[in-house]
Amino acid sequence: MKELVGFYLKYLEQDFSLTVVDDKKASICKWTELQTNKLTKEEFTKIYTSHKAAGAALITGYDNLEVVDIDLKVFSTTSEKNEFWETLLSLLREAIFDFDRLFSIYKTKNAGYHILYKTKRCQPSQKVAKLQGHTQAVIEIKGQKGYVIMYPDNCVNGVQYSDIQYITDKDWHSLMSICRSFNYIIEKEDIPTQQKNKNNVYTGTSPFDDFNAQNTVWDVVSDEFTIVRNLSDRIVIKRLGSDNFLSGSIFKESDLLYLFSTSTIYPAEKGISAAAAYAYKYHNGNFSDAAKDLYQQGFGTRNEKEYKEKEKIVIEKNIDYEYNEDDIIFPIDVFPVQFKSFILQCNERLDTVIDYAGCSLLWAISLIIGNSLQVKVKNGWYEIPVVWFSLVGNPGIGKTPSIRLMLAPLIKENNKKIKEYIERKKEYDAYEKLSKAEKEKHIDVEPPSKKQNIVDDITMEALIDLHENVPHGIGIFKDELAGWLKDMNKYRSGSDLEAWLSSWSGSSININRMTRPGSFVEKPFMPVIGGIQPGILNTLYSEDKKDNGFMDRMLISFPENIVPLYNDKEIDYDVLKWYDMAIKKTILLIEQIDDDRNKVVFSTNAKKMWIDKFNEISNKQNSENENEYFKSMYPKQKSYIPRFALILNVLFCTIDDKYSIDVICDKAMEGAIKLSDYFVAHAKKIKFEKKVTEDMENVTNNHNSIYEKVKAAYNNDNNFNRSKLADLLSVSRITIIRYVNEIKDAHEGKY
């Protein structure tokens, strides 16, 4: 270390003040005095050559020297350290032009970093960023009353200590805002937990809590800010029109907005919820007025009298579409605990949707069973486990990823079969091109047949031809079901539709076209699954498809979902491997049975549960209170319940040998009934959504501007569904709320 004395002395000759430190990084001399009066070369040499000296440090604050000190010891793994540093560095490079030339960067002994520069805004030393769950700062600003150890050999970007220069105020502000954006310790904005409406003391769930539950803070402020970077734990944002690179962050876990910019309508350096942001944005921070406004919009628990009156109105209007709210939640408990755990882990770590994943698992097991098994409900009544799923949701909500994850083992095997066919077809085509003499010297090559059992875009004729080669069953998986539904009658009215209706029941299909020989399959097995948007599905509820029972056969899953932000959690590879092995085990279980629709019966208790549910459905069919539209759906549930029971029973047999493949257990029947209730509830939900949309269209159709349409909806019913109208008009929900506020103000004569 003594040989470095000359290196340090040259900095004393320049505009730097240095102190000498020991092996614990403590200053050997009184360094605070060096903020204004630096050591002479003689003084420094004398102290540095003492036995205690282990290095030197720059006095920050002297001649406006400031240093960003990044301490990565707070991270437990090297990958976490690297990720944090690379994220910080990329933001700085994006915000500050020519960053690597303006700043000096040195790596510290403990894998941290120093970013050095000079600024006329040099401040007292302070901690600016702590991570969630940590007390030690990850970023400190060393300015007045501070020092940093020098590391002569550790310059990262080629800008040496001697090259440190002044930066502009704009670059300094960008640097500070980026560093502060990593701070997780925030104070939440206090908002009243209870508010009064005009006549009642508010109790129960407050309008603010209800608003926060239904909206994100980004929903409120998205028209004022733009997203700079989407990080694992936060979204970094910038105010529109701001000269600064950043204005603040939105923390994903808490959904709180944290601003360090003071040039907005929101308070700085406080955690702001969606409701608090709404109060500042539309009521100038008056939380009392904001609570009244939100309450009038329907947020918060109604007082008892008001609730009963509202409930009465809703029942009178929509009694035909009533369903048990519990039935809307996918009954994931119907699966064996191992499969349930897998779906929940995928939901938590891969953001798959539980409803879509559950339906996809049912479809996968349906295809695996194929023509091997059927349920004997009673003599003369048999059900094959064919299922048709319509997974309803807006674009980007996660329909296809959820399906593909659950079908991955089957798709992998299906792709192998497709590749094998392509290779054999090439061999056969090459063989056919040989001359007669060449063929005599060659081993005979038979024409290959397709063996894939999952298809997407395919005509009914091609599907039946393929089914003849694969009698076990063919699954239809389409990312978008709309095309399948629209193309059903491509050749002539009723042809494909009739074939599909026959396939659902397991009856033989015989198709004759004038342009080709007939196609025939005796025991069709063709389950269907795919995604569809709610608006498109509503247009397909035509009278002909309703009259012939086609749409009644569709099992609809329409969960309430939002597009998730980035999820940094990883799923263990062993979990995915377990699922792959479980599906293969199910396949092996079924492969021991021939494709002859072997009969499976109910256990004694399962049959009792089935009879009770059958009679319950029959009573609904006979009831004068039941919507006639839904009465045609109930007979299909009498077919689906045994099918669900068979599928679930196979899953239980996969997990535990105590269950019998020939007898449907009590658990399977109990789960089948829950699944039926779930799909009935969602069928009513989609029909109700269609009716609400149609009613809203009727109210707004004769108006041109968005404002006039909102006004018409408000005048018709001031409690109209804001989200539904926003979707109908292709605008944000906040836009609807803003117009409603303007309309209410106009009614009250405010302007």
Q: How many CB atoms lie within 10 A of CB 648?
A: 27
Q: With bands split at pLDDT 50, 70 and 90, how would you rate the model's confidence at 732?
A: confident
Q: What average pLDDT does range 142-169 have in this prediction? A: 93
- CB 45 within 8 Å of CB 18: no
Q: What average pLDDT does range 597-604 have in this prediction? A: 94
- The predicted structure's pLDDT at residue 311: 36
Q: With bands split at pLDDT 50, 70 and 90, how would you rate the model's confidence at 586?
A: very high
Encode pLDDT of 513-533 as tens digits.
Answer: 544 555 788 999 999 999 988
Residues in CB range of 103: below 8 A, 6 or more apart? 92, 96, 115, 116, 117, 157, 159, 167
Residues in the chain: 751
Which range scores top for mean pLDDT: 19-28, 64-73, 526-535?
64-73
**Residue 681: pLDDT over 70:** yes
**Residue 650: pLDDT over 90:** yes
Q: What average pLDDT does range 368-382 have in this prediction? A: 95
Q: With bands split at pLDDT 50, 70 and 90, how would you rate the model's confidence at 17?
A: very high
- The predicted structure's pLDDT at residue 581: 95
Q: Beta strand 65-70 with 137-142: parallel, antiparallel or unpaired?
A: antiparallel
The model carries a pTM of 0.57
Q: Average per-residue pLDDT in the chain?
A: 85
**pLDDT above 90 coverage of the chain, percent:** 40
Q: How far apart are CA 604 and CA 510, in angstroms?
A: 38
Encode pLDDT of 471-490 as tens digits.
Answer: 999 999 998 888 777 665 44
| Domain segments of the chain as ranges | 2-180, 207-296
- The predicted structure's pLDDT at residue 196: 42
Task: Write the Ramachandran bin of 444: left for phi over 0, alpha for psi from -120 to 50, otherwise beta.
Answer: beta
- CB 192 within 8 Å of CB 284: no
**Residue 126: pLDDT over 80:** yes
Out of 146-150, 209-213, 450-454, 623-627, least confident range: 623-627
**Residue 184: pLDDT over 50:** yes
Q: How far apart are CA 673 and CA 343, in angstroms?
A: 20
Q: What average pLDDT does range 494-514 have in this prediction? A: 80
- CB 688 within 8 Å of CB 318: yes
Which range scores top for mean pLDDT: 71-75, 322-326, 436-440, 642-646?
642-646
- The predicted structure's pLDDT at residue 748: 67
Q: How far apart are CA 413 and CA 451, in angstroms?
A: 11
- The predicted structure's pLDDT at residue 632: 80
Which of 244, 246, 254 lies closest to 185 in space, CA to CA? 254
Q: How far apart are CA 648 and CA 670, in angstroms?
A: 10
Q: How far apart are CA 171 and CA 113, in angstroms?
A: 19
Q: With bands split at pLDDT 50, 70 and 90, how would you rate the model's confidence at 103?
A: very high
Task: Write the Ramachandran bin of 301: left for phi over 0, alpha for psi from -120 to 50, otherwise beta.
Answer: beta
Q: With bands split at pLDDT 50, 70 and 90, how would you rate the model's confidence at 50?
A: confident
* Domain 207-296 class, CATH top level: alpha beta
Q: How many CB atoms lie within 10 A of CB 577?
A: 10
- CB 659 within 8 Å of CB 649: yes
Q: Which residue has the tokens 């009770």?
A: 612
Encode pLDDT of 413-427 as tens digits.
Answer: 999 999 999 999 999
**pLDDT above 70 coverage of the chain, percent:** 89
Structure tokens at 256: 């709180």
Q: What average pLDDT does range 489-501 have in this prediction? A: 65
**Residue 306: pLDDT over 50:** no
Query: What count of Cα atoms within 13 Å lies in the side-chain half-sphere of residue 704?
Result: 0
- The predicted structure's pLDDT at residue 232: 75
Top pLDDT among 249 and 590 is at 590
Strand ranges in 77-174 using DSSP code E only, listed in sequence order: 104-107, 113-118, 126-130, 137-142, 146-149
- The predicted structure's pLDDT at residue 678: 94
- The predicted structure's pLDDT at residue 720: 83
Q: With bands split at pLDDT 50, 70 and 90, how would you rate the model's confidence at 202?
A: very low
Top pLDDT among 356 and 134 is at 356
Q: What average pLDDT does range 23-45 have in this prediction? A: 89
Helix (H, G, I), strand (E, B) or coil at 448: coil
Q: Beta strand 509-513 with 126-130: parallel, antiparallel or unpaired?
A: unpaired
**Torsion angle of C-alpha atoms 208, 210, 215, 220, degrees rounded to 10:** -20
DSSP 400-437: HHHHHHHHHHHHHHHHHHHHHHHHHHHHHHHHHTS-HH
Q: With bands split at pLDDT 50, 70 and 90, how would you rate the model's confidence at 183?
A: confident
Q: How far apart are CA 483 and CA 722, in angstroms?
A: 30
* DSSP structure class, residue 578: H
**Residue 659: pLDDT over 80:** yes
2-180 and 207-296: same fold? no
* Domain 2-180 class, CATH top level: alpha beta
Residues in CB range of 146: below 8 A, 6 or more apart? 59, 60, 61, 67, 125
Q: How far apart are CA 278 and CA 269, in angstroms?
A: 17
